[in-house]
Structure 1
Amino acid sequence: MATLTSTRPASTPSTGPGASSPKRRMPAGKRLAPALLLVPAIAILIVIIGWPLVQLVVVSFQQYGRAQVFGQAAPFIGLGNYTRVLGDPQFWQVLARSFLFCAVNVVVTMSLGTLVALLMTRLNKFFRTLVSVGLLLAWAMPALTAVIVWGWLFDTQFGVVNYVLSRVTGVDFTGHSWLINPISFFAVAAIIIVWQSVPFVAFTIYAGLTQVPDEVLEAAQLDGAGAVKRFRLVIFPYLKSIFVVVTILQIIWDLRVFTQVFALQGIGGIREQTSTLGVYIYQTSLGTGDYGAGGAIAVIMVIIMMAISIFYVRQVIKEEEL
C-alpha cells in the first residue's frame, strides 16, 4: 500500500492585502530629529526661566538683604526663611485672601464668559461682530491702562459711578471712596480683572460651541429639554475638556494677579488689608529689603502654581489619549 506523502507546499510569507507587513525601523537620524528641533526652545527656557528659578531657590535659603545687593556675602540659613514665613500669621491671611479672591474671580469670569458665548451663538453676523470687537478691545487693553480707566470711573469726587448712584438711589455718594474699605476695594479689583478675562473665556467656549452637532441639540429640544437641560446634558459634556482647561488657566492667572491690585493700592487702597500673594512678595522683598523671605514666599507660590500646572497638563494629555 502506497504511503501518502504531504503535498502541502512550504510556507511562504503571505503577501495578500490583509497581511501585516513587517515594521520598518526608522533611521536614527529621523528618530533624533524631533529632539534636535526642541533643543533651541529648551535652551531658551533654561536661560529665561530655569536659571532665574534656580537663583530664586538659592536666595530663599540665604539671609539676603540690601547689604547683599551691594556685594556683601549672603549667609546660608537653610530653612530659616521658610520657618519665618510659614510662622507669620500675615502670610496665611494673604494666602487665604488670595485664594478667596481667585475663587470669586474664576466663578464670575467663567459664568459671564459662558453666557456671552451662548449669546453670540444667537446673534446675527452684524451684532456678533460688534460684540467680538468690544471683547477684543477689553482683552487687548493693558492691565495698567484698565486700572487707570476704572479708577477714573470710581473716582471719589468726579467718578461716573458715584454720580450715577447719587442720581438713581437719591443718596449722596459724592466723596465716597471705594478703595478704603477692603471689601469694596476687592469688588473694584474683581470688576477690572473679570472685565479683561471674560473675552478669553467667551471666545474659547464660543469656538467649542460651533463644534456641537446641531442634530443633537434639535433632538434634545424635540424630546422636551429646555435651554438649561440642553446645556447641562448636551453642551457641557461635549465641551467638558474646554471648560476644564479654561478654568485651570483662569485659576493660575487670577492667583498670581499683581498689576491691578498694586495699582489700585497706589490710587488709595489700604496695603495691609488688600495685598494678594504677588503684591505681598513685592512688598516683602523691595519694601522691607528682606529678599530671602520674599524668595521663600515666591518659591511657595511657584510650588502652588506647579501643582496646578501639573494637573492642567495631565488633563490635556488625558484628553489627547481619548
Structure 2
Amino acid sequence: MFESFIHFYDEFTKSKIDDVAEFIILEEIHTTEKTKKEILDRVDTIYNTMKKSLENALSEKTILPIEEAIGQSDKLTSEPFFLDKNMKEAVYWTMSIAEYNSGMGVIVACPTAGSSGVFPAVLFKAEEKLKKSKEDSLKALIVGGIVGAIIGNKATLSGSEGGCQAEVGVASAMSAAAITYLAGGSLNQIFEAISLCLINLMGLVCDPVAGLVISPCIKRNTIGVMNAFLASELALSGVSSIIPVDEVVAAMNNVGKKLAYELKETGLGGIANTPTAREIRKRIFEE
C-alpha cells in the first residue's frame, strides 16, 4: 500500500483528509475493494481478541517450561515504588499477556507473538487514561497497523532476521504511533514517536534462553511498553528524533543484518549462552 513513510506522508497530504486513520481506511477500501464496514469489523475482531487475551492472561495461571519464569507478572500487583499506578499496571498487563502467549494462549501477533504483550497493554492503558471510546481505539489500532506494515515492507519484523529490535522494537513503535494518534497528535508527531522508539531499542538482540520465547523475551515486552509511552510523550511535547523515520528504519534494518547469527533467535548467544541459561536448556531438553 505504501512504500515508505514519506510516501504515506505525501499521499496523506494530497488527500486533504484531516484524520490519519480515515485516510488509511479509504486507502484500504481502494486497495482491497472491501467496504468500510468489512474493514472495521476485522479491526474490531483484532481489538476484541487483544482484550480477551488480556482478560485470560490476568485470570488464568500460565504454566511454562522454565519454572523460574512462572508467575513473575503476579509480583507486579504490589504498590509502585517509582512508577505511577497506571504505568505499573501497563507493565503488569504486558508481562501477563507475554506469559500467556508463552503458555500457548491465544493472542494477536502485533507484529509477532514474542512481542504480543506490548501493543494491547499500551493501547488499553492509553484508552483508559485518556478516557477514549472503543471506536477511537479501533482507529488508533489502524494507525499502529499501518506502521507495522510499512516497517515490515522496508525492513523486517522477524527476530531471526533482525534481532529483538525488529520484534519488541517495532511493537513499541506501533504502540507509540497508535497512542500518539489517540492523544490527538499530528502525523509528524506520530513519525517522531516511531523514530524515537526504534532509535531507543536499536541493536537489541534476540537471545531466547533454551530457544523458548520466555526469558528474556517476556520482560523485554515491558521495556517496549515503557519505551512507547516515553516516545509518545516526547513526540507530543515537541521533541524531535533529528533523523527522519525512513532513515531510522533503514538504519535498523542495516544493524539487524550486521548482527551475528548467534544473536538472532538461535539461542546461541547473549543471555542464552550464559552458564545459567545453558543449565536451564540442559534441564529442559536433556533430563
Sort the TM-score into its range (normalised by shorter chain). Answer: under 0.3
> Which has the larger Rg?
1
TM-score, structure 1 normalization: 0.21
Greater relative contact order (CA < 8 Å, ≥ 6 in sequence): 1
